[in-house]
Amino acid sequence: MRVIDCPRFGPPSIVSIVDRPIPAPRSGQVLIRVIASTVTTADARIRAMKMPSPAFAVLGRVAIGFRGPRVHVLGTELAGIIHAVADDVTSFSVGDRVVALTGVRFGAHAEFVAMGADRAIVRIPDRLSFEDAVALPFGSNTAIHFLRDLARLQRGERILIIGGTGAVGVAAVQFAHHLGAHVTATARPHNAELVRSLGADATIDHSAVDPLAAARPYDVILDTVGVTTFARARHAMTPTGRFVPVVATFREFRQAFITARGRVIAGVAGDSKTALAEVMSLAEKGALRPVIGHRFDMHQIADAYALVDSGRKLGTAILRIST
């Protein structure tokens, strides 16, 4: 099978396509033939070992690898077809259409992936294609966790979403609208109509206007891209407002748990089967819809990484693995 190999940290050109044996499912596992994956900001940061702060870079090398990732095949989400199942697996059958999250085990940038059947794998709703299904989990899991579980966004509250056009941003706009909040999101003029169609009540062209120069304060400011700080944002927040950085540094974690508790909220989104099933359920009901801005074939992986590195990615960048 073909896999995308990342032998060491570096620029987009560091990755290449190599052949590996197809794994056989062990006890409790299923083997998935991957139809589509994605290239996310998380993949790009790991490939380049570009972390939010030097301290996180040190921790990243300890956890992931010193000169390069210990797991050479990156990618954390996939959609495909169950190709084989171990004899003791009864929850899935050959031919099932599934979407899955590999999490910190990575490995999704490959034609076949073996995973435990009890991990984050769920069936794809009939109304979704493989590409639609795989475009949702990364951004939606993050948006739901940060907005509902951490910030506890309430109906009628005002939220500013900084970075409203990335994978997390488009999901956050939709989920905040689903919760009944008044949504303002940053977007360049050519993407403003799309963001409004997702549920934003207002958009701000952040290249021309400071989004924090608000006429009315916000109850929640969600920074999906790591471009501002609590010190800068607090004047645009209500007295009980919450600053929620998706890309948090040690400073934000210190503020969240010590110096600005309740005003700064930081955390890490999970990748559980339950969370993935909720995303698919919301998509089936129409509360979440995929935004696919770019599609790449496997041999275009360097181009995909270059796009993500540029910060100009719209929604999800799909990586087509097979047909």
Question: Domain range for residue 77?
Answer: 2-135+290-320
Question: DSSP labels for 300-311?
Answer: GHHHHHHHHHHT
One domain for residues 88 and 198? no
Question: Which alpha helices (H) appear in the chain, and where do they start and end?
Answer: 41-48, 54-64, 130-134, 137-144, 167-179, 189-197, 230-233, 250-254, 273-285, 301-310
One domain for residues 179 and 302? no
**Rounded to 5 degrees, what angle do the CA atoms 321, 133, 143 make?**
120
**DSSP, res 283:** H
Question: Measured in whole angstroms, how far is the alpha carbon of residue 306 from the centre of its chain?
Answer: 17
pLDDT at 283: 97
Would you write out the chain's pLDDT as a tens digit for each of its 323 residues? 999 999 999 999 999 999 999 999 999 999 999 999 999 999 999 998 887 666 666 676 777 777 888 999 999 999 999 999 999 999 999 999 999 999 889 999 999 999 999 999 999 999 999 999 999 999 999 999 999 999 999 999 999 999 999 999 999 999 999 999 999 999 999 999 999 999 999 999 988 999 999 889 999 999 999 899 999 999 999 999 999 999 887 788 888 888 888 899 988 888 899 999 999 999 999 999 999 999 999 999 999 999 999 989 999 999 999 97
Residue 274 placed within a domain: no
Residue 53 placed within a domain: yes
What's the pTM value of the predicted model, to 2 decimals? 0.92
Residue 284 placed within a domain: no
| Local structure of 188: helix, strand or coil | coil
One domain for residues 88 and 154? no
One domain for residues 178 and 69? no
Residue 193 placed within a domain: yes
Residue 72 placed within a domain: yes
Q: What is the CATH number of the domain that holds 29?
A: 3.90.180.10
Q: What is the CATH number of the domain that holds 153?
A: 3.40.50.720
Question: DSSP labels for 70-135?
Answer: SSS----EEEEEEEEE-TT--S--TT-EEEEE-GGG---SBSEEEEETTSSEEEPPTT--HHHHHT
Residue 143 placed within a domain: yes
- Written as six digits, the tokens of 10 are 């570096």
Q: How many domains does the chain have?
A: 2
Contact between residue 218 and residue 183 where contact means Cβ atoms under 8 Å apart: no
One domain for residues 45 and 145? no
Residue 267 placed within a domain: no
One domain for residues 185 and 225? yes
**DSSP, res 15:** -
One domain for residues 203 and 306? no
Contact between residue 230 and residue 263 where contact means Cβ atoms under 8 Å apart: yes
